[in-house]
Structure 1
Amino acid sequence: MWRTIFTAGGLLAATCCAAAEPGMAVVQVTGQRDGGADAASAGSVGAAEIAARPLLRTGELLEFVPGLAVTQHSGDGKANQYFLRGFNLDHGTDFATFVDGMPVNMRSHAHGQGYSDLNFVMPELVRRIDYRKGPYAAGDGDFASAGSARIGLADTVPDTASITAGQRGYRRAVLAGTTVAGTSADRLLYGLEVQRNDGPWTVPEDVRRFSGVLRWSGGSGEGGAEDGWYVTAMAYRNRWRATDQIPLRAVAQVGRFGSLDASDGGRASRYSLSAGRQGPWGGGRVELNAWAVRSALDLYSNFTYALDRPDDGDQFRQGERRLMLGGDAEYAWRGTLAGLELDNRAGVQVRSDRVSPVGLYTTVARRTTATVREDRVKESSAGVFAESSVQWTPWLRTVTGLRGDAYRFDVDGRRADATIATPKLAVIAGPWRKTELFFNAGHGFHSNDARGVVDGVTPLVRTRGMELGLRSELAPGLETSLTAWRLGSASELVYVGDAGTTEPSRASRRRGIEWNTQLKRGSWRADLDLAVSRARYTRPAEEGDRVPGALERMATLDVRHAPAGGRWSAGFDVRYLGPRALVEDGSVRSRPSTLAAARIGYRFGQHTRLALDVFNLFDRQASDIEYYYASRLPAEARAGLAGRDDVHFHPVEPRTVRLTLSHAF
């Protein structure tokens, strides 16, 4: 059996023990990055691996996807910035994220298409993350062109309390546990989180965050995997002040961590109820999920300061109130055809978004002064898919799939409909000497904002991808994968800094190479990920062919040491992000950044643990994000000066120390 100890940063350790103590929930956790997949770039991460790495922000859960980088350009209550495979994914466009079966990406969002805010997730309750890259899985639809991640929640966790204290007003308290109903298999998991933080900013962030989870589950097998069910209720509220990106020329005036509008910030809330059932049915296996999400968001931003409104300033509010309803059903079964073994699955997915209202408003110190536009949006979709895996020979397997999606967009009574079909193919050869070869090809898509669709923008934008991959166990404990890929998009979604949203642009093409290696030796573990990509527009234009913000080079190294039964554990990780073109001709580029973090843990007996986390270990002055656009400072407006093009940046936080004490009882 395994005892798992949770802290504010996640699981600190999973240590083997002879027997569980009375009343303690016992789970087994694994961490496997590249196992049992249909592509060299797909894999899974278990809770123990997630726990071993410190997280500065909740959104960094997605950095367990090799080659994916997570940053921020505003307050910590806002969705993060994501980068993968030559994409500046903005807040989630072209990367689909799911939590407990519920889609996280928001369609026709007030701030940006595909907005994906993970702040409602408690890392302590994450059981595993399954990830894919590229548009090759029939079960993935909207926003999954660059890839997808499915975050699964645990059914049981030990009864645990933890508290984290850090610099600059950081405080976090977590209480989590599981109640078992007598001798039955029914379990009730609970989790509560409270967080406060000011950060290094001249204007304190004043984060006030609350999250709560109740999950009732039952069934046979580990976590009900054989025949089980669950009902999950989640609640999240947050409010904060934000220091948005500032131009380089303003550093002398306000400092690196200063603000040009002290009233920027926001409020966010999310409440959800989801339920699922899985088990044998009719000679196969069925999985059913249904969910309802009610969310609200108000973002107050000022990216251009006094460019358009020199007297009052350019602050605006992006707000929405949303109800999402949806569900999916999937059936898997085995069969034979002409003596060949077939693994088949088919499914249907439905989703309905009601956003009433979604709007853009001019504001002064969070006081609304005018309505730029306000809409009522109804957006519905239905997707069906089928996939079949055929074992042609002991060393050759193929997976073919087809997906169809239908959408209806309604904005204040103006309607538009769209459909799309996306084929998929995977060829897997091997293994030979513990080596497999992969070929993947397929079409994907992303939807555009309904407000643009009813005005004539293409509703569903097709993408086409292909990759060649190799995965091998070179020696016991040494696994590596190498992938060469390319992806074309019929239209690019580009972030517009001065408008705080995304807009369709020209067609694009990307290509790149990824190399991921994992080494396990006794109590040591090391992961090395390297990614190189190239992103270009395919249609010529006078301004150039570079895709602004596209990350060209990335490297990460993560090293962990956790002796079995030992009191001490330690870890170190470093991430390098290369320069990016900020304008289409490449004449202005961002600066590269290299950040390191470390953790030292100490266990007091079997129940109590202390962890010291240090972020930005070497106190580097780098940027989380950089843009290039025109703005005008308030002092420039008073002097009658015009706006100026400049690099606008959001700095990484300076060296940050946090101490976590956790106790399993």
Structure 2
Amino acid sequence: MHFKQLTASLFLILLTVQLAFAHLGTLTGVVIDAQTRLPLRSVSVNLIGTGKMTLTDELGRYRFDRLAPKLYKIEFSHIGYATTAQKTAVGDDQTAHIQTSLIAAPVNLSAVTVSALRPADQQLISGIDIKLRPIVNSQEILRLVPGLFIGQHAGGGKAEQIFLRGFDLDHGTDIRLSVDGMPVNMVSHAHGQGYADLHFVIPELVDGVDFKKGPYTTDQGNLATAGWANMRTRTTLDRSFVKLEAGQFNTYRAVAGINLLGDAARQKSQSAYVGGEYSYSDSYFDNPQRFKRVNVLGKYHRHIGDNTTLTLTASTFWSKWNHSGQIPDRAVESGLVDWFGSVDPTEGGETSRTNLNAQLTTVTPKNHIIKNQFFYSSYNFELYSNFTFFLNDTINGDQIRQKEGRNLFGYNGSYTTQTTLGRTSWTTTLGAQYRQDITPGRGDGPTELSHTKDRTITLERLQYGNVNEINAALYADEVVQLSSRFTVNAGLRVDQFRSQYEDLLVKSSATPDPTTKHVTQAIVSPKLNLYFTVNPTLQLYLNTGKGFHSNDARVVTAQNGRQILPGGYGSDLGVIAKPFPRLLVNAAAWYLYLQQEFVYVGDEGVVEPSGRSRRMGLDLSARYQITNRSAGPNLFADLDLNTANPRSLDAEKGQNYLPLAPVLTSTGGLSLQGGGGFSGSLRYRYMADRPANDDNTVVARGYFVTDLQANYNRKNYTLGLTVQNLLNTRWKETQFDTESRLKGEATPVSEIHFTPGTPFFARLSLTYFW
């Protein structure tokens, strides 16, 4: 009897549930850009009066299920677009479908809301920011990441030195950089681990940058400890353009972007464009750089059916330059060289990179998202440097050549599903990644470090061999929206590395063949992020996670596999707040522990592993809209303030400073945008004094530099003025505590060696659109 009663009760419950949902309908839709006709992702879709909200997917689509039959009002909002509302009726057991076009509009901070649905959306860099701030090359777009500083110390063609969260990242040891999902960092590079050269990107073709500080994102693996950034190039050109620039120091630049298919193709969700860039500059050094750079990019995008998009990108890049290198303080003080002089005027380099990138995104009828990406790069690099002058070779000098040719190819794939039960939704992503780096590539030969003279004579090969490095990974990421206020994000990734190095120098009569060693190791990286939205003006979050950086294949094979993948453990406790409608504040206290630190060895041009380290600090970002005009330009103010306390854990107190790690940085300024006519930005950047050695007896001096960007915009053209270092401040852009010997010196001296920062540097530009 008891069993029969239980069965009857379950039947009644199921019947009640079925009847409750029997006459409920569904609302689906797609959101597109009114001008480009392309889908918009991450648009906030709010079903007014129901408490239901969602975001559009990769194809601009959204869906609401189990809706009572009636008339609904839907509101659409997205940064950089005018908020739009539509009404539609949902019937019994029917699916209503609407299409919405959003019109581009000036950014309005009053329209920005803090939501559990979009916890990372405040960490975006838009094309508006890029246009309004002084940008010389794509590498400088990284400066838009709050707290990130860069420094050039080799003539403009070499990848910049990067600083972030108490790290001297050298050229990318602990920050993961990518373009359209394709990796930029080069592991086991001839110049240093993680070398990241972004000069193959044309700044005018960058649509935006996604970034996050810390090791908290599941699909970002190797090198993403201090953080990561992904540049997104434009999918389509709304208008073709030609841009001409001319400036001081014999500086010239020409850029063009041509829409190949026109407006008719956009109506069919198809687009194609080609872009190109040529740059030349002698720069401000006494030794003319004769810097040349050529960039070409082509991109094709189309819908393959209603649910699949295909994007194909091809690009090629070449650059060649001379540079003046670092000069010691004593050389300037004694009058041996000028502030912009050079000790070894034969330094310089040449590099090239060709990329192929194919991205396929499919949304199934059940709203599952499948992404597949295949990429390939052919890369060549040759750099001549002299860090120590005549320290080791008092006759010929210590110039070195670092050279390699590389093939890089790989795959990124993911499968995402979304499930909703009541007010709780689960978004599950399963992903797979593969990357392989092989030297020698086409063109240049093996990975090389050689002692040279005058950039023409090879005196001795110090390292010479082939790298073959594989990184394969699987990951799972779960986003659980428990309510409109609370979101949990948990992730887990597993990475497997195989590092191989064929040493072509190690030969003997007993072993005439090259010595080849390989080692393997895996690492597991968990992530857990919590977001609690108190109200539409306040959100609290806690990010925790483990990340890692791989070590150079030449190092780990020599150490028989020890310390291949040292982990990094981090945590951010933060708040996103809108205390006033036009003020947005993001503040965080953070901590990061690394199992192994990198130390840059200037006299040999390599990086070597060191001991454990920890960093902690505070980040503060504020954005305020000073004026709020519906028509005409608006004035914005922004401020980023970042502190860090970096220390080594394997050294005594007082001897545990991390050389060149920033301790206090700040950027900020005023920006005028929107409406047409005049627009622009006046900005500053400040880096405080910081230790240059481990006991802080040598100090790298800080600097305060201001930049200006002014634009006059009309319908078919824009006039621009860019001024770097508006106040003509004398400053040191990069600094190292290096032991060196000048020609004729009896004994070596250890002191600050520096590259002077840009003096007052003005450039004019004219951009014509059609």
TM-score (norm 1): 0.92
Q: Distance in 1 between matches of 2:692 and 2:120?
A: 31
1:47-446 equivalence runs, <5 A: 47-157=127-237, 158-180=239-261, 182-183=264-265, 184-219=268-303, 227-251=308-332, 252-281=335-364, 283=366, 284-336=368-420, 340-356=424-440, 357-367=446-456, 368-412=458-502, 413-446=516-549
Contact between 2:488 and 2:528, CA under 8 Å: does it hold in 1? Answer: yes
TM-superposition CA deviations, 1:252-304 (whole Å, max 9, x none): 21111111111100000000111001121363111111100000000000010
Shift of 1:227: 3.8
TM-superposition CA deviations, 1:484-516 (whole Å, max 9, x none): 000000000122222222111110000000000
The equivalent residue for 1:21 is none
Q: Distance in 1 between matches of 2:673 and 2:534?
A: 31
Please, which moves more after superposition, 448-457 or 556-565? 556-565
Shift of 1:155: 1.5
The equivalent residue for 1:535 is 646
Shift of 1:42: 6.2
Q: Distance in 2 between matches of 1:84 and 1:140?
A: 17
Shift of 1:550: 0.5
Change (3 A) 1:34 1:165: farther
Contact between 2:114 and 2:539, CA under 8 Å: does it hold in 1? Answer: no
SS of the residue corresponding to residue 60 of structure 1 reads: helix
The equivalent residue for 2:93 is none
Shift of 1:177: 2.1
Shift of 1:239: 0.4
Runs of 4+ aligned residues of structure 1 deviating over 3 Å after TM superposition are: 1-4, 26-42, 181-184, 336-340
Consecutive unaligned residues in structure 2, runs of 5 or more: 1-32, 37-79, 83-101, 441-445, 503-515, 629-633
TM-superposition CA deviations, 1:593-634 (whole Å, max 9, x none): 00001122223x411121111110001111111111210011
Indicate whether 1:657 and 2:762 are aligned. Answer: yes
Contact between 2:310 and 2:360, CA under 8 Å: does it hold in 1? Answer: yes
The equivalent residue for 2:47 is none
Contact between 2:738 and 2:753, CA under 8 Å: does it hold in 1? Answer: yes
The equivalent residue for 2:710 is 600
Indicate whether 1:573 and 2:691 are aligned. Answer: no
Please, which moves more after superposition, 323-332 or 53-62? 53-62
Q: Distance in 2 between matches of 1:540 and 1:467?
A: 26
Please, which moves more after superposition, 137-146 or 366-375? 366-375
Q: 2:752 aligns with which of 643, 647, 650?
A: 647
Shift of 1:219: 2.3
Change (3 A) 1:35 1:241: farther
The equivalent residue for 1:611 is 720
Please, what is the CA RMSD of the aligned residues? 2.3
TM-score (norm 2): 0.80
Q: Distance in 2 between matches of 1:359 and 1:274?
A: 28
Q: Distance in 2 between matches of 1:647 and 1:618?
A: 24
Shift of 1:50: 1.1
SS of the residue corresponding to residue 230 of structure 1 reads: strand
Q: Distance in 2 between matches of 1:549 and 1:621?
A: 19
The equivalent residue for 1:19 is none
SS of the residue corresponding to residue 391 of structure 2 reads: coil
Q: Distance in 2 between matches of 1:540 and 1:93?
A: 22
Please, which moves more after superposition, 332-341 or 49-58? 332-341
Contact between 2:391 and 2:741, CA under 8 Å: does it hold in 1? Answer: yes
Q: Distance in 2 between matches of 1:467 and 1:620?
A: 35
The equivalent residue for 2:737 is 628
SS of the residue corresponding to residue 48 of structure 1 reads: helix
Contact between 2:538 and 2:575, CA under 8 Å: does it hold in 1? Answer: yes
Amino acid across the alignment from 2:688: G
SS of the residue corresponding to residue 555 of structure 2 reads: helix
TM-superposition CA deviations, 1:306-364 (whole Å, max 9, x none): 00001001001000000001011011111257984211111001000001210101110
SS of the residue corresponding to residue 250 of structure 1 reads: helix
TM-superposition CA deviations, 1:47-91 (whole Å, max 9, x none): 112111111343111111111011112120000011100000110
Q: Distance in 2 between matches of 1:659 and 1:614?
A: 9
Q: Identity across aligned pairs (percent)?
A: 32
Shift of 1:581: 0.5
Contact between 2:114 and 2:535, CA under 8 Å: does it hold in 1? Answer: no
Q: Distance in 2 between matches of 1:431 and 1:171?
A: 52
Q: 1:481 aligns with which of 586, 598, 612?
A: 586
Contact between 1:95 and 1:146, CA under 8 Å: does it hold in 2? Answer: yes
SS of the residue corresponding to residue 193 of structure 2 reads: coil
Shift of 1:243: 1.0
Contact between 1:41 and 1:483, CA under 8 Å: does it hold in 2? Answer: no
Shift of 1:438: 0.2
SS of the residue corresponding to residue 253 of structure 1 reads: coil
Q: Distance in 1 between matches of 2:204 and 2:582?
A: 27
TM-superposition CA deviations, 1:88-142 (whole Å, max 9, x none): 0110111000002110000000001000001111011111100011001111100
Q: Distance in 2 between matches of 1:393 and 1:168?
A: 58
Contact between 2:669 and 2:682, CA under 8 Å: does it hold in 1? Answer: yes
Contact between 1:42 and 1:131, CA under 8 Å: does it hold in 2? Answer: no
Amino acid across the alignment from 1:348: A
Shift of 1:43: 0.9
TM-superposition CA deviations, 1:398-456 (whole Å, max 9, x none): 11110100000111131100100010000111132510000011100000000111111
Consecutive unaligned residues in structure 1, runs of 5 or more: 5-13, 17-25
Shift of 1:549: 0.8
